[in-house]
Amino acid sequence: MAELTGILFDLDGTLLDTLPDLAFALNSVLLEEGRQPLSPGLIKPAVSYGAPGMVRLAFGESQDQEVFAKRMAKLRETYSDHVAERTRLFDGMDKVLAEIEKRGLVWGIVTNKRRYLTQPLLEQLGLNQRVACVIAGDDTVKGKPHPEPLWTACQAMNVSPAHCVYVGDHARDIEAGKRAGMGTLAAAYGYLAPNEDPFSWGADDVLQTPVDLLQWLS
């Protein structure tokens, strides 16, 4: 690919380990209805599908639509109240970001997570002062796997897609990056289901740990 000037990250499962707070929120909804909580490992693959996917995992595919909507609303409310209590950068990611900044590269975030949840999370973790741009799930008309959010991020960072790489832990991330005309890296350390194979997504490379990105940069 062309000389790298920008790096874009997916948020949940790629840049940040948000699973502990998301699992807490989902299990709070379950406990409120007198049900048994689920293990974080069981919840993890559903995170990529947002609140709808997590509620379907917890309560089944067939739910009354009104009840389903109330469960999602409760999940989001609880999560919003505890959005950054247990969430942290993945191990090694702070070192990766420091090296990116040291090299004079810009980095941003493109996530399907809604703005009202994304912004406070980044602020509480002190990342809003470092990130060059944040494109949330409701900032563009179309979301991933459509390339629009990635193009919007490149425009905000004043970086050509050809000089950018997108890092994500879901096949839709890689598809979006490829459709946007940028390099792609699959985060195998992220929130994948046991039967998912990131090597089948067609990414330029697969990262087993965040620190692998340093080797890729070199």
Is residue 34 left, alpha or beta, with left meaning phi > 0 and alpha meaning psi from -120 to 50? left
Q: Are 126 and 116 in contact (CB under 8 A)?
A: no
Among the listed residues 10, 21, 173, 212, the single catalytic one is: 10
Name residues whose C-beta falls within 8 Å of residue 85's C-beta, 6 or more positions apart in sequence: 20, 21, 24
Name residues whose C-beta falls within 8 Å of residue 89's C-beta, 6 or more positions apart in sequence: 15, 16, 17, 97, 125
Ranges assigned E (strand) in 1-68 = 6-9, 16-17
Annotation says 12 is catalytic: yes
Annotation says 10 is catalytic: yes
φ, ψ at 110 (rounded to 5°): -125, 115
Q: Minimum mean pLDDT among 26-30, 49-53, 144-148, 214-218: which range?
A: 214-218
Q: Residue 137: which of 168, 111, 174, 98 has the closest Cα?
A: 111
Across the range 64-68, mean pLDDT stands at 93
Cis peptide before 37 (omega within 30 of 0): no
pLDDT in tens, 143-159: 999 999 999 999 999 99
Domain locations along the chain? 6-17+87-217, 19-81
**In the chain, what percentage of residues exceed pLDDT 90?**
93
Alpha-carbon separation of residue 167 from 12, 99, 116, 187, 190 (angstroms)? 11, 16, 23, 7, 11
Distance CA 125, CA 123 (A): 5
pLDDT in tens, 22-35: 999 999 999 999 99
Q: Residue 158: which of 37, 5, 14 has the closest Cα?
A: 5
Would the pLDDT of 129 be above 70?
A: yes
DSSP letter assigned to residue 133: E
pLDDT for position 217: 86
As a whole number, the mean pLDDT across the chain is: 96
Among the listed residues 12, 17, 169, 173, the single catalytic one is: 12
As assigned by CATH, the class of the 6-17+87-217 domain is alpha beta
